[in-house]
A = this chain, B = another copy of it.
Amino acid sequence: MSQENLTVVLHAQGDLRLENRPVPEPGPDEVLLKMHSVGICGSDVHYWQHGRIGDFVLKKPMVLGHEASGRVVKVGSAVEHLNVGDRVAIEPGVPRKVDEYVKNGRYNLSPTIFFCATPPDDGNLSQYYKHSANFCYKLPDNVTYEEGALIEPLSVGIHACRRGGVTLGSTVLICGAGPIGLVSLLVAKAMGASKVVITDLFPERLTMAKELGADFQLTVKKGDGAQQLAKSVEDLLGAQPHITIECTGVESCVQTAIYATRSGGVIVLVGHGSEMVTVPLINAAVREVDIRGVFRYSNTWPMAIAMLASGKVNVKPLVTHRFPLKQAIAAFETTRQGLGIKVMLKCDQNDQDP
């Protein structure tokens, strides 16, 4: 086993370091992974810049990274379904207790869940990382490590579309064309949505959305009225969308979502905004437009792998930048500046392929 284990550690707000850590020893139910590709998420950058997200506050140094894949190099004694050499994607959330949420299949809501790179739990942006074997999923040969790493954001899109009830012939409005809006777009299309409108402030992001299959793009200017935007969406689609997936967290977008969505439809809140928002809730209520939140995901890796293996969803264009792990700070800086869509860190010196 290599002695070295280069790791990206956030010591405090603004203090991001690349340092060497001991290679961990997997417990009986764990596997040790030689990491291959880890995507940088907006939340990683947020912890770096602000030291907190909502109630999650960095109080001691934390390893970043939670969009990851790697290769099994050591297998815990009780593990049966994985072997050394298996290429796996990592589901970063692992429930700690068998509580009511775990028992009823909504383990993402378990209040004591372990989650990579959410304080105080360490992430996996390193050369070696151990993880619960039950939350490592074997990748078929025709799915790359980077696709494996992208299953994490893709899972947010899957969970959002599933909660929204996207199905054959659905029309969908997606607010925001960042990574999360874009994976929601990919998933909505794969679930049978007939038409998707996507909005953003930045034309480049909408260009990417168009390439990924959006039917209509709407460039929003700060200050545009919510009802006005809702009307534009209706005009583009010829009718109000069945489902709106809000991926910005911005108050005015929640307002637009409410005005835009068809009676009897669904709004999915994926974006995280300020604690209190002022919204026309009664407009949604009297038209029975349901409002459903999304907190990460559960039960998405197997279906995501099935979709990637069958070629029905193509996430590859999302990766716009790659950096070797050694250049992690530069990589984070790229994401901080909002350049491109997804920045990948390549953790294996001997294999920097996708």
A interface with B by C-beta (< 8 Å): 54, 97-98, 100-101, 103-109, 111, 134, 158, 161-163, 167-171, 187, 190-192, 194-195, 215, 249, 254, 263-264, 269, 272-295, 298-299, 302-304, 306-307, 309-310, 312
In the assembled complex, the CB of A136 is this many whole angstroms from the nearest CB of chain B, namely 11
Residues of B within 8 A of A264 (CB): 101, 106, 109
Is A290 touching B292 in the complex (CB atoms < 8 A)? yes
Top 5 A-B pairs ranked by shortest CB distance? Answer: A105-B105, A169-B303, A285-B293, A194-B306, A169-B306
* Known contacts A277-B278, A282-B272; A287 and B109 CB within 8 A of each other: yes
* Known contacts A98-B134, A307-B194; A103 and B109 CB within 8 A of each other: no
- Contacting residue for A168 out of B109, B190, B285, CB 8 A: B190
CA distance A277 to B283 in the complex (A): 11
- Contacting residue for A279 out of B215, B279, B309, CB 8 A: B279
CA distance A284 to B294 in the complex (A): 9
In the assembled complex, the CB of A226 is this many whole angstroms from the nearest CB of chain B, namely 11
Is A272 touching B293 in the complex (CB atoms < 8 A)? no
Inter-chain pairs besides A254-B281, A269-B282, 4 sampled, C-beta below 8 Å: A100-B299, A158-B168, A167-B191, A195-B306
In the assembled complex, the CB of A282 is this many whole angstroms from the nearest CB of chain B, namely 6
Is B103 touching A299 in the complex (CB atoms < 8 A)? yes
Residues of B within 8 A of A161 (CB): 168
Is A289 touching B293 in the complex (CB atoms < 8 A)? yes
In the assembled complex, the CB of A102 is this many whole angstroms from the nearest CB of chain B, namely 8
Is A280 touching B289 in the complex (CB atoms < 8 A)? no
CA distance A249 to B97 in the complex (A): 38
* Chain B residue at minimal CB-CB distance from A255: B276
CA distance A113 to B131 in the complex (A): 24
**Subset of 5 A-B contacts with CB under 8 Å:** A169-B307, A170-B303, A192-B192, A284-B293, A290-B292
- Contacting residue for A171 out of B195, B283, B299, B306, CB 8 A: B306
* Chain B residue at minimal CB-CB distance from A310: B194
CA distance A314 to B168 in the complex (A): 14
In the assembled complex, the CB of A188 is this many whole angstroms from the nearest CB of chain B, namely 10
CA distance A98 to B170 in the complex (A): 21
Residues of B within 8 A of A168 (CB): 158, 161-162, 187, 190-191, 303, 307
Is A291 touching B294 in the complex (CB atoms < 8 A)? no
Residues of B within 8 A of A273 (CB): 282
* Known contacts A192-B191, A295-B286; A100 and B281 CB within 8 A of each other: no
Most buried by B among A279, A285, A304: A285
In the assembled complex, the CB of A333 is this many whole angstroms from the nearest CB of chain B, namely 28
CA distance A106 to B102 in the complex (A): 10
* Chain B residue at minimal CB-CB distance from A187: B168
